[in-house]
Amino acid sequence: MKVIITSKNFNASDHLKQLIENKFEKLGKYFSDNIVVNIMLTTERGREKVEATINAKGTIFRAEEESSDAYTAVDKVVDKLSTQMSRFKTKLQRKHRGQKEFIFTELPDTDDDLEEIKPVKTKSFELLPMSVDEAVMQMELLEHDFFAFLNMETNSVNIVYKRKDNNYGLLKTYY
């Protein structure tokens, strides 16, 4: 497992970087050696934020935590990722059967029964061609947190969404 640490508005000490590598190395027993973990360390309003993303052959594990102390945030992120992997162990085993990237015997079993995860409501709608600005306006008019649309500039399906900081995000799709 390769750990890539990036920091923004934050100067990570060598001790913190070593601690992060050691903590994430423990999660490495769940994966083969060629998995990459991206860690982003930021400081916002006096709080330390740690974001971790593991991309394992199309399955993405992601966790984000804030704390007044970066060390505490790292511990919480590692715990959250470990819990995610344990909760979805059975589904992951089915999806990645026979692949060498995952080592499921190391994952602890959980009491949560997540075998049947089904949507409780399904909606269908027409993808209308519009600009990003029009999509944001439509999302706000509907009072939704996200809105899917056909981007008229790129002719691809995009999603605009409202971020926690009350700004907007844009998800672009490709295949």
pLDDT of the residue at 92: 62
Q: How far apart are the first and last CA of the chain?
A: 27
Query: Which whole-number Å values give the CA distances from 165 to 41, 50, 144, 169, in the listed order?
Result: 17, 16, 16, 10
Angle between helices 14-27 and 70-87 in degrees, nearest 10: 10
**Residue (of 20, 11, 58) closest to 39 by Cα position:** 20
pTM: 0.59
- Structure token digits, residue 130: 């519009």
Q: What is the pLDDT of residues 78-98, one digit of tens each?
A: 999 888 877 766 666 666 565
Please provide the average confidence, as pLDDT, over all residues in the chain: 82
Tell me how far apart the alpha carbons of residues 131 and 137 are, in angstroms, rounded to a whole number. Answer: 10
> What domains can be seen in the chain, in order of their start residue?
2-106 (3.30.160.100), 129-172 (3.30.505.50)
Residue ranges of the chain with per-residue pLDDT less than 50: 113-114
Tell me how far apart the alpha carbons of residues 60 and 52 are, in angstroms, rounded to a whole number. Answer: 10
Give the residue ranges of DSSP H helices in the chain. Answer: 14-27, 70-87, 89-95, 132-142
